[in-house]
Chains A and B, each alone.
Chain A
Amino acid sequence: MDTSFTITPRFSVKMLEKALRLYTPSHSEKLLADFLVDKCDDLGFEDIRIDEVGNVIAKKGSGTPKVLLCGHMDTVPGKIKVKKDGDYLYGRGASDAKAPLIAMLLAAASIQNHNGTVMFAAAVDEEGNATGVKNLVKQKLNLDYAVFGEPSGIGNITIAYKGRIAINLKVNVGKSAHASAPWLAKNAIEESHIFTKELKKTLEANQSAKKKGMMLTATITEMKGGTSHNVTPIECDAILDIRIPVDMNCKTVEKMISNTVQEVAAKHGVEAFYSILDETEPFEAPHNSPLIRALTLGVIDIERKRPMLIRKTGTGDMNVIGYGLKIPVVTYGPGDPHASHTIDEKVSIDEYLRSIEVFKRMLYHLNRLHNRSK
């Protein structure tokens, strides 16, 4: 591509609109992947490829620092008609996360050789099992920093996510009884309730002085038991979703779970086992890293206002990259995070366009700050 090619706001909006018209729920990202490969080629990216799981990866610029700008191509299912209404562009993935993805791509396109290297990645399956990001971590990209494109709002930088352990707790009481004589057998659902209540109590104890972002939380998300309306249940499966703050880790929490389950089982004479369904460590980027400083300066340059640094109570792909590669990672992008997955998903066109400029300024500052700190 001719490097003097100018990316106009009209071009940027059209490109997002085209990306929204491609319906790409998880595991059906190919249309958008092909579209992005084509655009990367037009915009002068190098080493453009689609990896074995379907991620698009491309390089722009050269030299240090090497920063990953990573977004995801998939959306939650459910088509939304693509339309413009005033300043808003509607469509599935408008905020989560095609606007952040395309904004990062267009910002990366502006980087010239010797001003740092951008690895642009458009991942698959973020809304599913994070297959795309997990595969990126394996690829030894030798990164200094990474930014995830997710809707944080232009004035917020997400610097931390909680970790997560999900367990399936199986309680088995050995025998059942007729519902008219419930005293003849223990009831697996009722026993399971004792376990989950005790687990929640233990895990959430002594935290009244803490803010929600720094609390260990546990909640039941599924409970299945019983085979008939008039037979007491022998077995019950309960799924607990446990979120771990950045000052704790999975190992400590797992020990608490294990001790509690053993204690309750011994006390009540009930057989109980648990299996771990998911284990993700918490992650927080160091506040004094050049990455947070560069992005903060980028927001100040464009918005004339300091961004708010945010800790999220959820768990994101940022955990996988940050914890796996031990590099500073933040999440940032245009759009209202609370509008994600809703039926009127939209993004402000003006905010989207401004976010491209924020990303460009971030890359400029990151190059300056990183190379100065060496």
Chain B
Amino acid sequence: MNCPECDGKLNIPDDAAVGEIISCPDCGSDYEISKKDGSNIELKLAEKVGEDWGE
């Protein structure tokens, strides 16, 4: 599967689960696996890393 952003090749593990984040090795875009039916996988842009204060 290719990156929707830069068309680079995404490495999606065979056992990847819905909800997991896949990062594009070329452009760094993060995608969340939104649906998985056998080898058919749908991606959506993942939320960015959140932030919080404190220790």
A306–B47 Cα distance when bound, in Å, is 11
Let me know if A374 is at the binding interface, CB within 8 A: no
B 6-46 binary contact with A (CB < 8 Å = 1; else 0):
00000000000111110100000010100000000000000
In the complex with contacts A288-B23, A306-B19, A312-B50 CB distance below 8 A:
no
Stretch at the interface among A26-34, A188-196, A292-300: A292-300
Residues in A with CB closer than 8 Å to B49 are 159-160, 213, 309-311
**Which of B21, B23, B32, B51 is A312 in contact with, Cβ under 8 Å?**
B51
The A contact surface, by secondary structure, is mixed
**Which of B17, B50, B51, B52 is A337 in contact with, Cβ under 8 Å?**
B52
**Which of A296, A305, A313, A315 is B52 in contact with, Cβ under 8 Å?**
A313
Residues in A with CB closer than 8 Å to B54 are 312-314, 337-338, 340
A309–B17 Cα distance when bound, in Å, is 17
A160–B32 Cα distance when bound, in Å, is 20
Asked whether, in the complex, the Cβ of A297 is within 8 Å of the Cβ of B23, the reply is no
Asked whether, in the complex, the Cβ of A314 is within 8 Å of the Cβ of B53, the reply is yes
Let me know if A211 is at the binding interface, CB within 8 A: yes
A311–B55 Cα distance when bound, in Å, is 10
B-contacting residues, A270-298, CB 8 Å: 287-288, 293, 296-297
Asked whether, in the complex, the Cβ of A313 is within 8 Å of the Cβ of B21, the reply is no
**Which of B20, B23, B30, B50 is A300 in contact with, Cβ under 8 Å?**
B20
Asked whether, in the complex, the Cβ of A212 is within 8 Å of the Cβ of B51, the reply is yes
26 contacts between A and B (CB under 8 A): A150-B55, A156-B50, A156-B52, A158-B52, A211-B51, A212-B51, A213-B49, A213-B51, A287-B21, A296-B20, A297-B20, A300-B19, A306-B19, A306-B20, A310-B50, A310-B52, A311-B51, A311-B52, A313-B51, A313-B54, A314-B53, A314-B55, A315-B55, A316-B55, A337-B54, A338-B54
Asked whether, in the complex, the Cβ of A310 is within 8 Å of the Cβ of B51, the reply is yes
A312–B17 Cα distance when bound, in Å, is 27
Asked whether, in the complex, the Cβ of B21 is within 8 Å of the Cβ of A306, the reply is yes
Let me know if A308 is at the binding interface, CB within 8 A: yes
Residues in B with CB closer than 8 Å to A293 are 20
| CB of B9 to closest CB in A, whole Å | 15
B-contacting residues, A303-341, CB 8 Å: 305-306, 308-316, 337-338, 340
Chain A contact patch, size range: 20 to 34
Asked whether, in the complex, the Cβ of A305 is within 8 Å of the Cβ of B19, the reply is yes
| CB of A325 to closest CB in B, whole Å | 20
Let me know if A161 is at the binding interface, CB within 8 A: yes
A211–B32 Cα distance when bound, in Å, is 22
A240–B50 Cα distance when bound, in Å, is 26
Residues in A with CB closer than 8 Å to B53 are 212, 312-314
Residues in A with CB closer than 8 Å to B50 are 156, 308-311
| CB of A17 to closest CB in B, whole Å | 26
Residues in A with CB closer than 8 Å to B23 are 287-288
A77–B15 Cα distance when bound, in Å, is 47
